Chain A
Amino acid sequence: MGSDDVVLLADEAIALGAVHAGLGAAYGYPGTPSTEILEYLIALYEKGRGPRAAWCANEKTAYEEALGASFAGKRALVTMKHVGLNVAADPFVNSALVAIKGGLVLAIADDPGMHSSQDEQDSRFYAQFAGVPCLEPTSQQEAYEMTREAFDLSERFQLPVMVRITTRLAHSRSGVKPREPRAENPLGKCADKAAWTLLPANGRRRYDRLCKIQGELEAWSAASAWNPVAAGAGAADFVVVTGGLGRNYYEENLGDLEARLGKGKLPARLHVGAYPLPEAKIRELAAGTKRILVIEEGSPFIERAIRGVLPSGVAVSGKLDGALPRIGELNPDNVRQAMGLPPRPAAPLAPPPLPGRPPQLCQGCPHADSYQAVAKALEGLPSTLVTADIGCYALGALPPFSVPEALVCMGASISMAVGAAEAGYENVVGFIGDSTFLHSGMTGLVDAVSREVAVTIVILDNSIVAMTGGQKTMLPSARIEEIVRGIGVEPAHVAVIDPSPSQAARNAELFRREIAHRGVSVVIARRECLEAIKAKKKSAARETAAKGACK
């Protein structure tokens, strides 16, 4: 470590790389493991040391705001977790058709192993689908460098560029050597209006351009230093392709592989850090070999592609033939096994049987009171159905609450409740958080009101985005009632309750009444998150201490 190094999470290294690339604006929606990218930039912005950086209502608005900044000539970063890109897919895919002016970089964090997500979709498919380049770092330093390069690439090819990371890198700290920062772009919108106005006639022209530029992208990727080939030597009867963190786990075990195969006698290897795939390099690598082992973090993206690239007769080994697990994360152990190495000797210890310790709602969490009250209200009722949404309160699906029966994606609680009620269920309740309601719950409520569907929607208002570390909700709590009434829920069926143990009986009674109502009811359960209260106390104490020091 040199003295100029800074210790950063890879998330933060992306943020710093963006700032040093001359960032003009950054937008995003919080989601583990991507959250710390924008947190870093917002902290800089609030200290007056960085460009505009802000959380947005959802990933789609975030992406579009970044796209607007790019149209205006500024370099823009947009951040989200993998499933967030499903929400932003419309602007993402179509932004590949416009003539990007200021560099536009999407920094996206995938969550293989589902540490904090409902699926482990691999964002590389999105990059391929949209026809845009993707860079994938394997270290904090690469996260910094690749983000800088991504902005240059974006302006060079006039395309958005994806930087993809995964959980273990996003949330790992190490030293980063920063380089001389670049200045911000001047303000100046793209002069080519037709390239940004995607009417069908323009869209056809732009799509043709997108298809034609793919060859240039492939040439760039083939020459990119992010796709290095290490020549092989000796008797290894296979060659290796690594992608993402697969590289690191492979290298972790390389010493033992060398000990086994003989000094200097390692298999040839291509590491893929830049997409589109360098197909010619793969063909060269595979020439004369019998087997190609693919070690990549995420879906078998490279592996499937290689099956199409190579002549038959070369066995492609990886997640599809069982050499590596098809789901979950790579780690030093499963990669070691795929390399044909025996397990490391471990301490011969025998732990006694241990109880599991799954995550749970905090002691005294207001969501617990809301779940208990609704459970009480539903007791003995026929034809009940409960949906919930993404956030801390998803933990209410686990014992001791076990109230929600369905939980799929951001905003779905309300719309699924509507569908289930129209299908014939009579006593239907949907739970959604305040932030999730603003993200994508409002539109479902519009549907419910427009058809007067008998559902009871519980908005769990803890006045904060708790799960991702306590970001501020986009709008103040009081505004939520106005929105609900504004959408057209009858005022008599909009209630605000205090989800506290002392109010338990009253709340259950109110829920019972609203569930019986044959139209839309919205109950806002409002009590501040305990973590938020703690954080407030801490920052107040810090302020007092700072004032004391100045006296």
Chain B
Amino acid sequence: MTCDIILAGVGGQGVLSIAAIIAGAALDEGLQVRQSEVHGMAQRGGAVSAHLRISDRHIACDLVPSGGADMILSMEPVESLRYLSFLKPGGVIVTAAEPFVNIPDYPDLAPLIKAIESQPRSRVVAAAELAKKAGSARAVNMVMVGAASSFIPVASASMEARIAKLFAAKEASLVEVNLKAFASGRAFAADGRAFAAEA
């Protein structure tokens, strides 16, 4: 079993905290993990991506090859499409619906979302709304972990345990909110709707 994920977003959106939860959960299940990150200049409001590779076998390199990603997990729409050449046939795109606009030429949202939804397998997640409902606008990242979770061969309980551990270290009250965010993202993405490829 291998699962290669491209995490995409804009510097400062917390792409690495998502990677840390998924990678930690995979490690807890005894799997091999390699997680490539971006530090330095690119973090300053630019497009960033991280490569996360999970396997039950030795992982040769830190980077996912083109046409090798099982999933693109993005914090916002434009970035979800930037790395399409990495997606494996049958791979899934999971992205937050809300745009991160810090450039003057950000495209119109409606056609952009349509372009994402017309890809064979994709989920556009109303992450900000779900996070707010869960109790904190800042729980967007955990909504996205939840939305991605049903497409990753790691038990959701393992991810929940990691989330609980991460937030317990910060503030106990955050644990419940973030677990709720995770659950709502998971329910949203795994609601049984057909993908475009199947429709």
Contacts and interface: CB of A to CB of B under 8 A. Distances in A.
B44 interface: yes
A346 B34 contact: no
B46 A346 contact: no
Given A173-B33, A249-B61, A352 B66 contact: no
B109 interface: no
B44 to A, nearest CB: 4
A346 B87 CA distance: 6
B120 A115 contact: no
Contacts, number: 166
A33 B44 contact: no
Interface in A147-171: 168-169, 171
Contact of B40 (A173, A348, A468): A468
Given A33-B40, A332-B65, A359-B46, 7 more contacts: A1-B27, A175-B27, A251-B61, A346-B67, A347-B91, A359-B11, A359-B42
A36 interface: yes
Contacts of B30: 1
Interface string A221-253: 000000000000000000000000100110111
Contact of A360 (B37, B45, B66, B87): B45
Contacts of B40: 32-33, 115-116, 467-468
Contact of B65 (A252, A351, A394): A252
B91 to A, nearest CB: 6
Size bracket of the B interface = 35 or more
Contacts of B84: 347, 349, 351
B68 A332 contact: yes
Given A354-B78, A357-B10, A361-B44, A347 B37 contact: no
B23 A347 contact: no
Nearest to A140: B34
B47 A168 contact: no
B65 A344 contact: yes
B27 A7 contact: yes
Interface string B1-18: 000000000110000000
A363 B101 CA distance: 12
A354 B84 CA distance: 11
B168 to A, nearest CB: 11
A9 B135 CA distance: 33
Main secondary structure of the interface of A (DSSP, over half): loop
A346 B66 contact: yes
Given A248-B60, A355-B105, A171 B67 contact: no
28 contacts: A1-B32, A7-B24, A7-B27, A32-B40, A115-B38, A172-B37, A173-B37, A174-B35, A175-B33, A252-B65, A331-B65, A332-B64, A336-B65, A346-B88, A346-B89, A347-B67, A351-B81, A352-B112, A355-B103, A357-B46, A357-B78, A358-B47, A359-B45, A360-B44, A395-B41, A467-B44, A469-B39, A545-B170
A249 B68 CA distance: 13
Contacts of A469: 39
A362 B11 CA distance: 10
A528 interface: no
Interface in B69-95: 78-79, 81-82, 84-91
A359 B103 CA distance: 10
B32 A347 contact: no
Contacts of A184: none
Interface of A: 1, 7, 9, 32-33, 35-36, 115-116, 168-169, 171-175, 245, 248-249, 251-254, 331-333, 336, 343-349, 351-352, 354-363, 392, 394-395, 467-469, 542, 545
Contacts of B88: 346-347
B104 to A, nearest CB: 8
A198 B65 CA distance: 51
A175 to B, nearest CB: 7
Given A36-B39, A175-B32, A351-B84, A168 B44 contact: no
Nearest to B93: A349
Give the residue among B44, B61, B67 with the most A Cβ atoms within 10 A: B61
B61 A245 contact: yes
A168 B62 contact: yes
A352 B81 contact: yes
B47 A332 contact: no
Contacts of B59: 174
B191 interface: no
Nearest to B68: A344
Contact of B89 (A254, A345, A363): A345
Contacts of A7: 23-24, 27, 33
Contacts of A174: 32-35, 59
Contacts of A345: 67, 89
A550 to B, nearest CB: 14
